[in-house]
Structures are given as structure tokens and as C-alpha cells.
Structure 1
Amino acid sequence: MPTRLQVFDNWRILTGPHPRPRTKPRPPHALYGHVPGNADYSVGHWLREVAPLVQGGARPIIVGGTGLYFSALTEGLADIPANPRNRARRRQRAHGAGRDRGASGRDRRRDTRPDRLRETRCACNAAWEVLQTTGRGLADWQDDTPPPLHCPCRSAPRLVVGADKDWLNARIARRFDRMLDQGALEEARANLPGWTPSLLSAKAIGAPELIAHLRGEMTLDQAREAATIATRQFAKRQRTMVSLAHAGLAERLTPPNCRFFNLSPLTFGHS
């Protein structure tokens, strides 16, 4: 089962490899490319879709994404009613605050601190949305979080795969070049007519940059560099989350059956 952005059907190259038909039998895959690109999707959607898969007789392997999805699965998720109108306004504000990012050709390394401020602003907007929609504060809803799914997830093995930063950064650069070779620019061109930056599917790393290139706002080399830097920033956020867990600063992410693996000493060619 995939990360969040891999559920959308309009980005099959930029969001990473989707399962492809093969002549040899392979384990079944679920929740890849099954959501329209103009649809909304949240951890709540994912939790409802994953419930029958983890509660069945098979033993699924869940891969990806952020700690929020794993904690929702193992600890439960506050059942906060959604208000699509407020959510759309919040995303428009977030897009307005960061619309120059990736489209101006600036070095993203200069935007690290503003990015953090934008993330804080988005969190505040989300809390405001909950209060306006329900009349209850976010902390109040979180205090009423229902129990997690009745499944063996809490006792399942956790495997954290990491890598040294320099080794990983080199692979990140090769990865985007490989995506371009596989048709990422053509994929972006297919999304250009209906491009809506506030959609969740538009958050796919590399999408805003390639769209900006197709609109003549930056060169392809600038788009490649901006997307590569964005990917490195995403990897840094993931490393921070894992580092906190490994140090025991976030006990909920480090159950006794969690194991850490470092890939960088291994050889995988240039894939």
C-alpha cells in the first residue's frame, strides 16, 4: 500500500513507481492510482480504505509516507467533521502564501525558514477551520480520539529504512532525471489544461516545477534543480521524524518491535 500522493491517478511517474502488469505472478497491490486528481484525500479517507485490508486474513505490507498515517493506524484518529468549503479556502490561502515557491526560479535553499513559517501557518489555519466548523477546539476533538482499528497493527513489525545523507542526495538527483526519461514532462503536459495549484494532487514534488517550465516561467534545468531541492527537503523532514523516534523523543513512534536499517553501505547500482 502506497504513500498518500500515489493514490491519485494523474501522477503515475512523479509520485514514484506504480505497480505495472507483469507476466510473472506478484503479490496484489492496493490503493495505487485509484483517486481522481481533482478529488480531496486525507488520512481519514486512507484509514477507512485501509481498514478492510488490515482486518482481513492477509498480511499487508504498508509502506511510505509520514508518521501521521502510521499513528492513525495504530493509535486511532480524531473523527473531526470536514468542511470542504473551509478546507478549500485554507488551501487557497496556503497556496497564495507560497505561490512563488518553485515558480520564480529562486534557490529553494533560501526558503527553508519561510517554509517552516508556512507549515506553522497551515497548522494554525487547520485548527481555525476545526473551531469554525464544529464549535470545538482541535485539542478537544483529539481528547475524544476513538480507539484504533481492531487489527494486529500495534504488534506488527516496524521497519525503518534510512540512508546517509550524501548517498541519498545523489540518488535523489538521479531519480528525477530518470523520471524525466520515463516521461514526467509529458505527464505534466497532460495535467496542464486542468492545473489547479490548490488541489492536493498538485503537491506532488516536481509537479509545480514542471508546470512552471511548461508555462515558460523557468527553464527545464531550473525546474530539475528546484524539484531536486524540494525532494531533499522532504527527505530531511523524514529523517528528522525518524531521528526523533530513534532518540526516544517520540515514544509513540518507537515500539519495541521497531527495527532500523541503513541502505547506504549496500550497492544498488544506479537505480
Structure 2
Amino acid sequence: MSQTRIDIKSIAKSVPKDRPVVIAGPTASGKSALAMAIAEASGGVIVNADALQVFDNWRVLTARPSIADEAQVPHRLYGYVPRNYPFSAGHWLRDVAPILKGPLRPIIVGGTGLNLTALTEGLADIPLTPPEIRVEGAQRMAEGGLSALLADLDAETLDRIDQQNPARVARAWEVQRTTGRGLASWQDSTPPPLLPLADTCPFVFHTDRDWLRDRIAHRFDLMLEQGALDEARANLDDWNPKDPSAKAIGAVELIAHLKGEMTLEDARNHAIVASQQYAKRQRTWFRKRMGNWQVIPLP
């Protein structure tokens, strides 16, 4: 662990103070620590690119920066979206655009690969999916699993998406069904990016699997110590599993415990497994889509 801290400080000192920074990595890998080190070494504003840290009802459970960190260094786009507000990569790009033009050098950090690639590669202007098509896709998946949706996708789209990720598969199917064009085709006709990768210092954490699994387990235990259960209790009265913010890992499990549906130990174990599975999907995305980023190997 000490070697990791030394490396982060060294990297932070090497970053030019006038160059935007983009930091990607799986959950619990230490992205925020690097962002803080860069901001302290050469200034800037830390900008959230995580799809769940935008919501206002989960601070502990989504590992948002602490109040002390936010007081020490400027932070933006954390905890500002209502819990039930639909929030996409397109919404995030809209909100990050004025920050890129602001007076402070942006240090953009997050584990949501779609946000980061949309920022640095561009985002296709795909028409919205009609509700009835979303319902149709959900029914197909319920009856036939992922394979029922994958069977309708073109080869190029299949090659680009994470075929084990239900949300990504459903999205690709909805685009195909709504527009008659594959997601890959839409991606190939994207507008110029808001922040071209060549104009940034892009870092991506590549982590050892077992090392990260241990970190995830330790961090969830720390979240429990820091009040994650109290945070879940504060969400209990207005809990709706369909809210976008309900996707926060550990939320479903802790709410189930508070409802008497599982023990705290079972909730802990299920949440840790879910987080480890999510990290696996993140690592796959980063290795597949961020081959030209500067790799930070951990540990």
C-alpha cells in the first residue's frame, strides 16, 4: 500500500498544471486519491464522472469525497441530482461543458467508462427510446435472457459492448429497435468530443483482481463503520427500487436488511459480491476501450 501512495505522489508532481486530467479506474482503486494529489500539487477543480456519485441521497455508499476533502479542494458535480431524476451520459456532458470553460483546470475522475469515453471521443446523438420499446425489451429479456436481445444485434455492435452487462445489452437493443441502426453505426457518426483525449493527461488504473477484491471488501466494511446503514435508513421511507439512484451498490441489500428481509451479514456479503462483479465489468471496459491511456498498474 505504501508503494501505491509513493507512485501517486510522483505521478501528481509530473502533471502539467495547465493540462486537463482524466482519471479512470474500477471502484475502490484509488482514483480520488490521485485526483486530490494532483489538485494539491498543481491546482485545479475535481470533477465527478461517476454516474452514481451525482445523486444527492448517497454520500457514504457511493464513496463520494468527504466534506473535509470538498473543503480542501474545489469539487463539482457531486451529490447534486435528485434521487429519482433520470440521468444519462448526455446529461452529464451538458453539465460538465461549462466547467471545461471555467478558470480552473479540470481533474475529471470516475469509474463510469461511458461518461469518460463520451467526453473524450464524443457521444452519438441517438433518439430517445419510446417507453413501449423499453417495455418490449424488458419483456424479451425476462422471457429469454440476454441471448434474446443479443440475437437481434449486428456483429459490430456485439464486438463493442459488454455482452454480460444487462444494461449495455438492453441499451444496444433499444437503439437498434428504435432507429433501425446498430449502436456501433451511431457511435461511428458521433460529433467531435468536448475534450479530445489528445488534449488531456489521461490515466487509467489497471488493478490486480485479488488485490482489488480485498480492497472492495475492506471499503464496504469501512462504509458500514462510517454510517452507510444510517444513510440507508434515511432513504427507507421514500425508497423506490426503480429510482436511478437505487442502482448504488449496496443500496438494495441494506434496504432489504432494514426491512427484515436479510441479516446485516448477508447484506454485507451480497453487496461486496455485487461490487466485485461491477469492478470486473469496469476492468473489461477499460482494457477494451482505453488502450491509449497512460496505465497505472496496481498494486
Identity %: 53
1:175 aligns with 219
Runs of 5+ in structure 2 lacking a partner? 1-46, 144-161
Instruction: State the distance in 2 between where 1:48 and 1:200 align.
Output: 18
For the pair 1:230 / 2:277, whether they are aligned, the reply is: no
Matched, 1:192 2:236: yes
Aligned counterpart, 1:30: 76
After superposition, the CA RMSD in angstroms is 2.9
CA contact (8 A) 1:209 1:223 kept: yes
CA contact (8 A) 1:95 1:197 kept: no
Contact 1:11 1:187 in 2 (8 A): yes
Q: TM-score, normalised by structure 1?
A: 0.74
State the match for 1:16 in structure 2: 63
Distance in 1 (CA, whole Å) between partners of 2:71 and 2:260 is: 44
Distance in 2, Cα, partners of 1:145 & 1:181? 44
Q: 1:207 aligns with which of 231, 251, 256?
A: 251
* Structure 1 position 132, deviation (Å): 5.3
Q: Which amino acid aligns with 2:63?
A: G
- 1:117–1:195: structure 2 CA closer, same or farther, 3 Å change rule? farther
What residue number does 2:32 align with?
Answer: none
Distance 1:53 1:154, change over 3 A: farther
Instruction: Tell me whether 130-139 or 88-97 shows the greater mean CA deviation.
Output: 88-97
Tell me if the contact between 1:87 and 1:129 (Cα under 8 Å) persists in the aligned partners.
yes
CA contact (8 A) 1:44 1:77 kept: yes
Q: How far is 1:91 from its partner?
A: 9.2
Structure 1 residues without counterparts, runs of 5 or longer? 98-115, 265-271
Partner residue, 2:123: 77
Indicate which of 94, 116, 119 corresponds to 2:165.
119
Contact 1:131-1:137 within 8 A present in 2 as well: yes
* Contact 2:206/2:295 (<8 A) preserved: yes
| Length-normalised TM-score, structure 2 | 0.68
Aligned equivalents of 2:168 and 2:217: distance in 1?
30
> Once the 2 structures are TM-superposed, how far is the Cα of residue 42 of structure 1 from its aligned partner?
0.6
1:72 Cα deviation from its structure 2 partner: 0.7
Structure 1 residues 84 and 52 mapped into 2: Cα distance closer, same or farther (>3 Å)? farther
Q: Do 1:86 and 1:129's aligned partners in 2 also have CA atoms closer than 8 Å? A: no
Greater strand fraction, Structure 1 or Structure 2: 2
Secondary structure at 2:107's aligned position in 1? coil
2:299 is equivalent to residue 254 of structure 1? no
Q: 1:139 deviation in Å? A: 4.5
Cα distance change on mapping 1:181 and 1:96 into 2, 3 Å: farther
Q: C-alpha separation between the residues in 1 aligned to 2:204 and 2:241?
A: 32
Specify the alignment match of 2:108 in structure 1: 62
Structure 1 residues 178 and 94: alpha-carbon distance in aligned structure 2, compared to 1, 3 A threshold: farther
Amino acid at match of 2:282: Q
- The change in CA–CA distance for 1:128 and 1:31 in structure 2 (over 3 A counts) is same
> How many Å separate the matches in 2 of 1:134 and 1:85?
14
Q: 1:5 is paired with a residue of what secondary structure?
A: coil
